[in-house]
Homo-oligomer: A and B are copies of this chain.
């Protein structure tokens, strides 16, 4: 294999991926046209079909990258030695910020939301989020930061659903521009019901925006 060319190949692949992310985010899978991706990435069919065998393949790559980013963020937050609910907060805000700034992530998110009954796909991303959140909720309950009466698993499910709904609303109303404040107030209101009256969650300053 040629080695000197690899950097250029990687750049090409990346720019295709980014363009695809945008187009998928705006139009969904069926609504997206390969031609549009070509135009935005300033490449040609030859290039695209060299890197990705089909349009489905391209979508899968977008999702994969999005998942990788998600994992990286999750890992980075999980190792922090902070109260679990605070981890949950900064995790949510980091993720929101990523959605705002990274087109590939935005595309992946839309593709996942849209996903038809294609069960042969990668392990459901939502389940992974739910498991991760549930873990934090459990730890929080052990430390007395989650009410005894609140089921940690159901709380996790709700948080994921509410985040998804919030992200959707922000997408529809402002094209994700007001995502951060929406996520912030969502968390505040939710946690008001999760946390015992005697405790209070510390909300750090918003990451950005």
Interface positions of A from 116 to 169, Cβ below 8 Å from B: 116-117, 124, 126, 147, 149-150, 154-155, 157-158, 160-166, 168-169
A192 to B116 CA separation, bound complex (whole angstroms): 33
A206 interface residue, CB < 8 Å from B? Answer: no
Among B116, B169, B182, B190, which residue has its beta carbon within 8 angstroms of that of A27?
Answer: B116
Oligomeric state, in copies = 4
> Is A172 located at the chain interface by the 8 A CB criterion?
yes
In the assembled complex, the Cα of A27 lies from the Cα of B169 at a distance in Å of 20
CB-based contact A161/B150 at 8 Å: no
**Number of A interface residues in the complex (CB < 8 A):** 42
Q: Is A162's CB under 8 angstroms from B169's CB?
A: no
Task: Contact check, A186 vs B168: say whether CB atoms are below 8 A apart.
Answer: no
Contacts of A158 in B (CB 8 A): 162, 166, 185-186, 189-190
Q: Would B27 and A172 count as touching, CB distance under 8 A?
A: no
13 example contacts (A-B, Cβ-Cβ < 8 A) are as follows: A28-B30, A30-B31, A115-B172, A149-B192, A154-B185, A155-B189, A157-B169, A157-B185, A161-B168, A161-B182, A164-B169, A191-B193, A197-B197
